[in-house]
Amino acid sequence: MGNYAEEINKRRTFAIISHPDAGKTTLTEKFLLYGGAINLAGSVKGKATARHAVSDWMEIEKERGISVTSSVLQFEYGGYCINILDTPGHQDFSEDTYRTLMAADSAVMVIDASKGVEAQTRKLFKVCVMRHIPIFTFINKMDRDANDTFSLLDEIEKELGIATCPVNWPIGSGRNFKGVYDREERCVITYADTQKGTKEGHTTVIPVSDESLLTENIGEDFKSQLFDEIDLLDGASAEYDLDRIQAGDLTPVFFGSALTNFGVEFFLKHFLQMTTTPLPRKADIGMIDPVEHDFSAFVFKIQANMNKAHRDRVAFMRICSGRFDAGAEVKHVQGGKVMRLSQPQQIMADERKILNEAYAGDIIGVFDPGIFSIGDTICMPKEQFEYEGIPTFAPEHFARVKQVDTMKRKQFVKGITQIAQEGAIQIFQEFNTGMEEIIVGVVGVLQFDVLKYRLENEYNVEIRMENLPYEHIRWIENKDIDLDRLTGTSDMKKIRDLKGNPLLLFVNQWSIGMTLDRNEGLILSEFGRN
Ligand code: G4P
């Protein structure tokens, strides 16, 4: 047990999730501003610049104008040490996002006030609920015409199945956005656009008891509407309950405008008080306590080619317990090796800072010579345990991939294997042959483009891809089954993964049902494990 409880307890590690364009990047930038991590004057130049500042690791991002990679940011604010895990918003990269959520202790969900709950939010949300990750909702863009506030809350409750508890309450929206009502302090904070490079807002704080001042500032109509809504709210909304929030049962809701920097600090302050310190994690030997236990971590993300000049590969780890000391030896459990982690670093935008120490709750990136896989555990040499694996999501699109130039076989296999280790794609082989032909499975079709692009650019291998009609994959759970005698439908395909585990590919649900009917006792599973 270390004496670094204080360091660990000041850490807050959360992921920020949203449907693309809801304002995640803008909000993140404003957070950093409060931590003094960036110089705002030079940074608020619009989306293009903001995006590049945060994650500009792949050319393809620029070409497609979407954020492919996840980035990690750390800053200090109000005595807390904050780790933000940014998540790619595009649906094709959801698997990466799921993994990022595994490394977070809570999630901030950004919703566009004029759009409400959108497809991607819904998906991400399910993962949070599944894992009981506390969720904090920031309803953004109140400076634009917004949907009715009660309907927005209703939508979150109905669509996402979680109770809501507004911490503040908006008064008007768009051109008539007057500010927010702070329910705890029972005062109104008037709206001010403070985006122009300053974090000090020119807002006025008016206790609701001072009715005449309130009328003067927001007008009679908004005042009486607010009073009505306060009554309604106090009667109808779920009560603030920290236990429920931390169990992921109740989401505190905040209103604001990231662009004009209104309500951002309010959110940050309250959020930091409500969210948790680094949480214990489940391993095969039981729960590992972040403070009581020596250093341990798990790999949740692997990323190659983060910097063209380096042509390297970085494994991102979430430290789950204790203190990481860059000089000390650690054990890579799955590889069975004791080693020093090479070039441990904190990755901040495209800058890297070599670290000497880090604590539970922190995310570190280490140079990976190709030994780590997603889900791997790192602990002290004297210890032996594994964190629960990260489930791999069943790919839904498949293609047969071959290299064009047969002389480049070696590079092709190396490239495709490394990309698979990073978790961007999954690779499979024909059942009875070797790696002559590789079958690639992806969750989102854009990954096929990423694969082609990366093989060409990083490994100098041109490939040819033939799409396959399969849409469903199932791992065979039975250990004792005779696969040659397995009878399925004519369009079913037997393949195996790189570990030799047998799998079946199906064109549709019907074939899965038929195959189960025809083979008594057959157990098929949708999830593999890393
Ligand atoms: P994302 O990361 O969730 O995809 O969203 P991002 O922050 O990039 O924001 C998407 C767009 O919404 C941006 O405009 C951004 O300026 C705008 N935006 C973010 N927060 C607010 C807000 O509180 N109010 C208003 N009115 N707009 C907001 P864009 O036109 O796509 O880009 P640009 O104008 O920044 O170049």
Question: Tell me, what's the pLDDT at 86?
Answer: 77
> Which of 259, 261, 267 is the best mutation target for the ligand 1 pocket, counting ligand atoms within 8 Å of the beta carbon and taking the most?
259
Q: What is the pLDDT of residue 177?
A: 94
Give me the mean pLDDT over the 484-512 stretch.
88
Distance 262 CA to ligand 1 centre (A): 14
Atom of ligand 1 nearest to the CA of 46: 35
Please tell me the predicted confidence (pLDDT) of residue 64.
40
Instruction: Note the pLDDT of residue 349.
Output: 45
pLDDT digits (tens, 9 = 90+) for 191-200: 987 655 455 5
Predicted confidence band of residue 470 (pLDDT cuts 50, 70, 90): very high
Q: What is the pLDDT of residue 124?
A: 75
Q: Ligand 1 atom 32: the closest Cα is on which residue?
A: 47
More confident residue, 498 or 165: 165
pLDDT of residue 305: 61
Tell me: pLDDT of 272 over 90.
yes
Q: Which residue reads 């393949």 in tokens?
A: 495
* Residue range 12-174+238-274 in CATH 3.40.50.300: yes
The CA distance from 110 to 203, in Å, is: 23
**Nearest-atom index, ligand 1, CA of 262:** 23
Helix runs in 91-218, H state only: 94-102, 119-130, 149-160, 211-218
* Tokens 């969900």, residue located: 109
Distance 193 CA to ligand 1 centre (A): 15
Does residue 371 sit in helix, strand or coil? coil
How many whole angstroms separate alpha carbon 252 and alpha carbon 270? 10
User: 56 CA distance to ligand 1 centroid (A)?
Assistant: 18
How would CATH label the architecture of 393-529?
Answer: 2-Layer Sandwich (3.30)
344-374 tens-digit pLDDT: 766 554 455 677 889 999 988 888 888 888 8
Averaged pLDDT for residues 288-301: 95
Q: Output the CA torsion sign for 314, 318, 323, 329.
A: negative
What is the distance between the alpha carbons of residues 425 and 444, in angstroms, rounded to a whole number?
Answer: 9
User: What pairing do the DSSP bridges indicate for beta strands 472-476 and 502-506?
Assistant: antiparallel
Token pair, residue 448, equals 């096929």
Would you say the C-alpha torsion 156, 157, 163, 165 has a positive or negative sign?
Answer: positive
Predicted local distance difference test score (pLDDT) of residue 525: 84
According to CATH, where is 2.40.30.10 located in the chain? 281-379
484 or 190: whose pLDDT is higher? Answer: 190
Residue 70 pLDDT > 60: no
Lowest mean pLDDT among 31-35, 310-314, 345-349, 422-426: 345-349
Contact (CB, 8 A) for 333 and 378: yes
Give the gyration radius of the chain's Cα atoms.
Answer: 25
Return d(Cα 358, Cα 202) in angstroms, integer: 38
Tell me the CA–centroid distance for residue 90 and ligand 1, in Å. Answer: 15
Cα–Cα distance for residue pair 153/159, rounded to 1 Å: 10
The whole-angstrom separation of Cα 218 and Cα 232 is 20
Distance 23 CA to ligand 1 centre (A): 5
Does the domain formed by 281-379 have CATH 2.40.30.10? yes
Share the mean pLDDT of the chain.
Answer: 84
**C-alpha 124 – ligand 1 centre gap (Å):** 20
Segments of the chain assigned to CATH 3.30.70.3280: 393-529
Residue ranges, CATH 3.40.50.300, the chain: 12-174+238-274
Highest mean pLDDT among 80-89, 380-389, 498-507: 380-389
CA of 120 relative to ligand 1 center, distance in Å:
17
Closest alpha carbon to 255 in 177, 143, 159, 142: 142
Q: Is 76 helix (H, G, I), strand (E, B) or coil?
A: strand
Give exposure, 31-61, as e/b (b: 16+ Cβ within 10 Å): bbbbbebbebeeebeeeeeebebbbbbbebb
| 424 within 8 A of 451, measured Cβ to Cβ | yes
Percent of the chain exceeding pLDDT 70 equals 85
Question: Among residues 232, 240, 256, 50, which one has the least CA distance to residue 173?
Answer: 256
Residues 6+ apart with CB under 8 A from 7: 81, 323, 359
Low-confidence winner among 94-108, 189-203, 280-294 (lowest mean pLDDT): 189-203
What residues contact residue 216 under an 8 Å CB cut-off, 6+ apart? Answer: none
Closest residue by Cα to atom 4, ligand 1, is 21
Ligand 1: which of 43, 47, 260 to mutate, judged by most atoms within 8 Å of the beta carbon? 47
In 3D space, the residue among 102, 108, 56 whose CA is nearest the CA of residue 82 turns out to be 108
DSSP 9-56: HTEEEEEEEESTTSSHHHHHHHHHHHTT-S-HHHH-S-HHHHHHHH--
Average pLDDT over residues 225-235: 91
Atom 10, ligand 1: residue with shortest CA distance: 21
Side chain identity, residue 242: L
DSSP 474-506: EEE--SS--GGG----TT-EEEEETT--EEEEE
CA 508 to chain centroid, in Å, comes to 30
Q: How many CB atoms lie within 10 A of CB 64?
A: 15
Cα angle value 141/349/444 (rounded, 5°): 70
pLDDT of residue 479: 79
| Confidence bin at 236 (pLDDT 50/70/90) | confident
pLDDT digits (tens, 9 = 90+) for 392-417: 778 889 999 999 998 888 999 988 98
Tally the C-alpha atoms within 13 A of residue 160's C-alpha that lie toward its C-beta: 33
- Distance from C-alpha of 33 to C-alpha of 26, rounded to nearest angstrom: 11
pLDDT for residue 89: 57
Q: Which residues of 364-394 are buried (b: 16+ CB within 10 A; e: fewer)?
A: bbbebeeebbbbbbbbbeebeeebebbbbbb
Question: How far is it, in rounded angstroms, from Cα 461 to Cα 414?
Answer: 10
Which of 102, 115, 162 has its CA nearest to residue 135?
A: 162
**Cα-Cα-Cα-Cα dihedral sign, residues 253, 75, 301, 55:** positive
* Residues 108-155: tens digit of each pLDDT: 999 999 999 987 777 777 778 777 899 999 999 999 999 999 999 999
pTM: 0.80
pLDDT digits (tens, 9 = 90+) for 502-527: 899 999 999 999 999 999 889 998 76
Give the Å distance between the CA of 510 and the centre of ligand 1. 44
Instruction: Tell the residue nearest (CA) to atom 14 of ligand 1.
Output: 47
In ligand 1, the atom with minimum distance to the C-alpha of 51 is 8
Query: Which of 307, 154, 180 has the alpha carbon at shortest distance from 238?
Result: 154
The whole-number pLDDT of residue 353 equals 65
Helix (H) or strand (E) holding 517: helix 509-518
Does residue 497 contact residue 426 with C-beta atoms inside 8 Å? yes
For residues 358 and 360, what is the distance between their CA atoms, to the nearest angstrom? 7
* Strand pairing report for 106-112 and 135-140: parallel
Within a 13 Å sphere around the CA of 232, how many CA atoms are in the beta-carbon half?
A: 10
Ligand 1 centroid from CA 259, angstroms = 7
pLDDT of residue 54: 36
Query: Residues with beta carbon inside 6 Å of ligand 1?
Result: 18, 20-26, 46-47, 89, 140-141, 143-144, 257-259
Q: What CA–CA distance (Å, rounded) separates 6 from 359?
A: 10
Residue nearest to atom 9 of ligand 1 (CA): 23
